[in-house]
Chains A and B, each alone.
Chain A
Amino acid sequence: MSVLSKMRVRVIDPDVVADTDDRRGSESNAGPASGSNAEVVRRLVARMTTPLLPDDYLHMVNPLWSARELRGKIIEVIPETSDAATLVIKPGWGWNVNYQAGQYVGIGVRLSGKWHWRSYSISSAPGTGGARYQRRPLTITVKAMPEGFLSEHLVRGLEPGTIVRLALPQGEFVLPDPPPAKVLFWTGGSGITPVMSMLRTLERRGTMPDLVHIHSAPTRESAIFREERLALASRHSGLQVIENFDDEHGVLDGGRLIEVCPDWKSRETWVCGPAPMLAAAEMQWEKSRLTKKLHLERFSAVLTTSAEGGHVVFAASDKAADVDGATTLLEAGEAAGIQMPFGCRMGICHTCIVPLKKGVVKDLRNGTEYQENAGVQTCITAAAGDCVLEI
């Protein structure tokens, strides 16, 4: 979700985000505390702080006392393997939502003055209900990627006490409650994280089904949460943990999978891992026309791109266009018949800014790339691959 549009949704129209069961009722998303009294007080105080919000002053006292932008504090960094760590994050005001096991969360980290956003699966189990559980710390588990300067920073450079920004949890890769009777989890590498949240949730709720969990890692040492998974299996007779270490057993592909889990067809399946693994799973399940039973989580690392042009979706206008790498987003939008905000058309006035929801766009003047969660000047940027604009 774009930073700008997210803010608009939260501040101006809290109802828009309050449309899921979890968030309905007392759990308004716009206030530091739940309940309409707090909301009334907040609105009255906002009359005094206008044009700012009370939060803009309060977060100077305690960085977590702001619901304007969701904030969190890193309270612990737990090394998991040589290149992965779990971040324990205490959410601040406004985090009045309960996530579902398997969802991911956007995390914004400031590096050299600039906020960088990435999404990571939550690895902790959600609270079992009730507002007082919802501000419990949550954890994400991050693996340092060879060229991912941000993941590297998250794993090795983050001090406890650091303030991060958070985006609301989202994602369809979730486990129903109660879970299906027969389940298969197939994970690879850091794809374990959302499934770890599911396993922890199943244990906490006492609803562990007949479950086979196959996890692949390059080596025994690089397998994240290994001890905890084995301990879980020893406590739950219904949970069977199968490990595959590429250096010892070779890469586990679709063919090997059906060998180690012969009754895979009868199991509702969740798969999360590197792209080749997802492709293998998709093919396997498609062959047997069982895709309805297959849930995939795709991680697409947003890195630099050499793509030029692409399919541009104007989300709010419900329009799209295929444009080349020399056409500005402003021109593309106007050609598609959208009332785009515009000004100087030369990149100086910043009145044409539109939030970039997905994808990468490029500044035509100097090649600077902007990624999702940024507001982009449409008059001097062009699509670098497929992208979605919030207009």
Chain B
Amino acid sequence: MAISDVATFAHLSEADVDALGREFDAIRRDIEESRGADDAAYISRIISIQRRLMVAARLTLFASSFPAAWVAGTAMLAAGKILENMEIGHNVMHGQWDWMNDPEIHSGTWEWDTTCPADQWKHSHNFVHHTFTNVIGKDNDVGYGILRVTSDQKWHPVHLGQPVYNALLALLFEWGVALNDLDIEAIRKHEKDPKEIKRQLKGIWRKVRRQVGKDYIIFPMLSGPNFLTTLSANVTANLVRNLWSYMIIFCGHFPDGAEKFTEEELENESKAEWYLRQILGSANFDGSRLLHVMAGSLGYQIEHHLFPDLPSNRYPEIAERVRALCEKYDVPYTIGPLYRQYGQVLRTILRLSLPTKSVPPVPDAPGLRRASLEELRTHAGTMAPQAAVS
């Protein structure tokens, strides 16, 4: 059931919410004040590795008719594109590195290696999704206008096809992202200015031409006799990137425990309540440092949503503090291994293709810090009676 008041849901008094808000403000301040040469070196190193990977991949693929070269080249190209989209592009466009005052690594100038134009991404993602996170009817990322990912979305026979849409979206993720800011739903309801639609389509078309030209025409042609094998390598690399980013991104807000909200929640929402909504609406996954980097640090989805514009390399230390605060205030902090988080997502998508209204049952595993709605209600009754009544 979607939440219409985060404070009541999290059984916190007004004073507690405000105190929590101040704690998060303090984390932001500490990180902002300590940003420095090490952080700058981090993003420079990642960018350098990514560009080397791209050069090595393209060169290797000139010999793509040799199976070993095909495999190595494709792997490097996929890894390079994943790094670029996830840890570099997504985070740079969030303004995480704007503080360096370097126009070459700046949210105002960055363009990424995918078909979605940066300006449209920044609108649909940085603004709409990160401001109205998980608010049904406001955040287009709740199911991306195609999928029913929460029982709060009304069932329609069209949802019977969900398993297929889901598979297609995974394979063609880059294209789904490119079209996301168009907001097909709004177009269908004639809520959108045709001029704006035209402007956006033009932007997408310009970007698509360049991306397709590079991956599917220019580099295959430069490979000469290896045209077809280079083409298949490039298609494969883009596909791998699509599948990976789809999986990581779906683990951000669709696993069990990541709550959805009604538009009522937005009314008079304070900054502290906004923080709280970000925590309740997001899910982390754990893993090695390499996994986190390849996932664009989205394994720290909660921290990313609290502080979308703080440098991603600082999320691990931020996470320690956020987790401690969540323990202290007894706020659910959703985290689990990647395979289980994605397993829950897949199960939800399959189940909600049917007109079921039941919330998927929540498996309780040791080390998993999360609470069901019932548990929270019990807490609300015992711990903060005034909040529960209000």
Residues of chain A touching chain B, judged by Cβ–Cβ distance below 8 Å, are: 3-4, 6-7, 47-48, 50-52, 56-57, 60, 68-69, 108, 110, 112-117, 343-344, 346, 348-351, 353, 355, 366, 368, 373-375, 377
B343 to nearest A CB, angstroms?
Answer: 31
Known: A6-B103, A375-B107, A377-B95. 12 other contacts (CB 8 A): A4-B106, A4-B109, A47-B210, A51-B113, A57-B51, A113-B100, A344-B130, A348-B308, A349-B131, A349-B308, A351-B126, A355-B108
B145 within 8 A of A: no
Residue pair A343, B103 in contact (C-beta under 8 Å): no
Stretch at the interface among B34-42, B349-357, B372-380: B34-42
A329 to B108, CA, bound (A): 17
The 15 listed contacts between A and B (C-beta, < 8 Å) are A4-B108, A6-B103, A48-B214, A50-B210, A51-B207, A52-B111, A60-B48, A69-B104, A113-B39, A113-B41, A115-B102, A348-B308, A349-B127, A350-B309, A375-B108
Give residues 40-66 of B contacting A (CB, 8 Å).
40-41, 48, 51-52, 55, 58
Residues of chain B touching chain A, judged by Cβ–Cβ distance below 8 Å, are: 29, 32, 35-41, 48, 51-52, 55, 58, 93-95, 98-104, 106-109, 111-113, 122-123, 126-127, 130-131, 207, 210-211, 213-214, 218-219, 222, 271, 274, 308-309
Question: What is the chain B residue whose CB lies nearest that of A370?
Answer: B101
Q: Is the interface of A mostly helix, strand, loop or mixed?
A: mixed
Residue pair B127, A7 in contact (C-beta under 8 Å): no
Question: What is the chain B residue whose CB lies nearest that of A116?
Answer: B101
Question: What is the chain A residue whose CB lies nearest that of B37?
Answer: A113
Residue pair A114, B101 in contact (C-beta under 8 Å): yes
Interface core residue of A3, A4, A355 (most chain B CB under 10 Å): A3
Which of A7, A117, A346 is B109 in contact with, Cβ under 8 Å?
A: A7
Known: A48-B214, A349-B127. A68 touches B104 (CB 8 A): yes
Residue pair B102, A353 in contact (C-beta under 8 Å): no
Known: A47-B218, A57-B51. A374 touches B101 (CB 8 A): yes
Residue pair B111, A51 in contact (C-beta under 8 Å): yes
Q: Is the interface of B mostly helix, strand, loop or mixed?
A: helix
Residue pair A69, B131 in contact (C-beta under 8 Å): no
Residue pair B127, A56 in contact (C-beta under 8 Å): no
Residue pair A50, B126 in contact (C-beta under 8 Å): no
Known: A113-B37, A343-B131. A353 touches B98 (CB 8 A): yes
A234 to nearest B CB, angstroms?
Answer: 46
CB-defined contacts of B40 to chain A, threshold 8 Å: 110, 112-114
Residue pair A346, B51 in contact (C-beta under 8 Å): no
Residue pair A350, B101 in contact (C-beta under 8 Å): no
A46 to nearest B CB, angstroms?
Answer: 9
Residue pair B130, A349 in contact (C-beta under 8 Å): yes
CB-defined contacts of B131 to chain A, threshold 8 Å: 343-344, 346, 348-349
- Counting from the closest, the 9 A-B pairs by CB-CB distance are A113-B40, A350-B95, A343-B127, A51-B111, A349-B126, A344-B131, A115-B101, A112-B36, A113-B37
A323 to nearest B CB, angstroms?
Answer: 23
CB-defined contacts of B100 to chain A, threshold 8 Å: 113-115
Residue pair A60, B219 in contact (C-beta under 8 Å): no
Which of B29, B38, B214, B308 is A47 in contact with, Cβ under 8 Å?
A: B214
Residue pair B51, A60 in contact (C-beta under 8 Å): yes
Which of B32, B38, B123 is A351 in contact with, Cβ under 8 Å?
A: B123
Which of A7, A114, A344, A346 is B103 in contact with, Cβ under 8 Å?
A: A7
A53 to nearest B CB, angstroms?
Answer: 10
Question: What is the chain A residue whose CB lies nearest that of B211?
Answer: A50
B206 to nearest A CB, angstroms?
Answer: 11
Question: What is the chain A residue whose CB lies nearest that of B125?
Answer: A349
A197 to B370, CA, bound (A): 69
Residue pair A350, B104 in contact (C-beta under 8 Å): no
A118 to nearest B CB, angstroms?
Answer: 12
B96 to nearest A CB, angstroms?
Answer: 9
Which of A57, A344, A351 is B55 in contact with, Cβ under 8 Å?
A: A57
A366 to B99, CA, bound (A): 14
Residue pair A351, B127 in contact (C-beta under 8 Å): yes
CB-defined contacts of B55 to chain A, threshold 8 Å: 57
CB-defined contacts of B52 to chain A, threshold 8 Å: 60
CB-defined contacts of A117 to chain B, threshold 8 Å: 101
Question: What is the chain A residue whose CB lies nearest that of B112?
Answer: A51
A349 to B104, CA, bound (A): 19
A56 to B92, CA, bound (A): 15
Residue pair B99, A350 in contact (C-beta under 8 Å): no
CB-defined contacts of A56 to chain B, threshold 8 Å: 51, 104
Known: A7-B103, A344-B130. A112 touches B98 (CB 8 A): no
Residue pair A353, B112 in contact (C-beta under 8 Å): no
